[in-house]
A and B are shown apart, each in its own frame.
Chain A
Amino acid sequence: MSQKFIVGISDWKICGRDDILVTYALGSCIGICLYDKITGLSGLSHIMLPDSKSIAGGSATPMKFADTAIPAMLSAMRAKGACAGITAKIAGGATMFQCNGAQFNIGERNIAAVRAVLGELRIPIIAADTGLNYGRTVTFYSENGAVEVSSTVRGKSVI
């Protein structure tokens, strides 16, 4: 019997094969789905910001940042027995409000940070649905690694 786990904003969860991980309404945030197809171990992280080191006291909330959340989730998956050969799918990083202020391009900065962190960890990104200007809900099926991205504005797709 498969279970569905909801991952909140600034949170991550891992699960075993046949379970489902969901995170709702990613805007500028990014959902990072890590998948080990050998064991079916899966992890979904919902990060808000790129870099914990750029903010005083950032390390106190590691689940909020790409640079701290992704390695922690990966370690947790490895501790449960995930093998080499983990792959990633990412979604989110939208620019919800069109504006010139640098503060508001947080979606773009999140995408760059997530790509850099996964690169450093040598995890290939095998699919991505990022950027543009709309929110996305991510449903991650550990049965086969499929990631459904649904948008109220744009409809559904599977990556």
Chain B
Amino acid sequence: MEIDVLTEVGNIGSGNAVTAFSAMIGRAVDIQVPAVKLLDFQTAIDFAGGAEKLVAGILVQISGDIEGMMLFLLEQDMVDLIVSTFFGQNTISLLELTPDMSSALTETGNIMSGSYVNAIAELAQMKINVGVPMMCVDMIGAIMSVPVSIIGEMSDKLLFIDSYLIIDGSEIKSKMMLLPTVNSLDTLLKKLGVTA
């Protein structure tokens, strides 16, 4: 039951985020049913793509009635898509992104996390604030150490709602995850009428 509700939360959040993203890049974007995962830290990092894989990570803090983070792990596919849309360059190494390109990626994270979180806030009738997005290009394990350390203080596992995008019929490997704290998860489920 909890998993179903959280899957639906992910569906509504990522549906809204994808609509905003689709408008931004002027292309049709679909989503698959999100996966709700409760994993130990190492397994979470492996699931996200592997500790040493190079990605652009965008981290957004959320606060208010729900505390936690949104994390985007943009792999080459998504970076190419955004860079080609705005800069007309077909592909670029993640290590050679210009400051303008980094800003465009960060702004994408900003718009998508805002849309995602607003949809959930509306659904659960809550007030949720979205922080300023932060970006860095590095290994997945190093990027995830930050949310894992902050959220994982209180537990041994990480709960995340992981969404997959589909563009022109192919699945984008890049990931969009909602990472609520343990307490916020209870709050969210309560608001949605799942637990007493």
Contact across chains for A135 and B150 when beta carbons are under 8 A apart? no
29 A-B residue pairings within 8 Å (CB atoms): A9-B141, A10-B42, A11-B42, A24-B51, A24-B139, A24-B141, A25-B51, A25-B52, A25-B141, A25-B145, A26-B145, A27-B139, A27-B143, A28-B145, A57-B154, A96-B57, A96-B143, A101-B61, A106-B146, A106-B150, A133-B136, A134-B142, A135-B141, A135-B142, A135-B143, A137-B52, A152-B95, A152-B138, A152-B139
0/1 string, A12-39, CB within 8 A of B gives 1: 0000000000001111110000000000
Contact across chains for B146 and A97 when beta carbons are under 8 A apart? yes
| Shortest distance from the beta carbon of B75 to any chain A beta carbon, whole Å | 14
Chain A residue nearest to B41 (CB atoms) is A9
- The secondary structure that dominates the B interface is helix
Known contacts A29-B149, A96-B146, A136-B142: does B52 contact A152 (CB below 8 Å)?
Answer: yes
Q: Is B45 an interface residue (CB 8 A)?
A: yes
Contact across chains for B154 and A25 when beta carbons are under 8 A apart? no
Q: Is A94 an interface residue (CB 8 A)?
A: yes
Total A residues in contact with B, Cβ cutoff 8 Å: 33
B113-159 residues with Cβ-Cβ distance < 8 A to A are 132, 134-146, 148-150, 152-154, 156
* Extra pairs beyond A48-B148, A106-B146, A152-B54 (6, CB < 8 Å): A25-B45, A26-B141, A27-B138, A94-B142, A97-B135, A135-B142
Contact across chains for A9 and B142 when beta carbons are under 8 A apart? no
| Shortest distance from the beta carbon of B38 to any chain A beta carbon, whole Å | 16
Contact of B134 among A10, A64, A99, A137 (CB under 8 A): A99
Contact across chains for B52 and A24 when beta carbons are under 8 A apart? yes
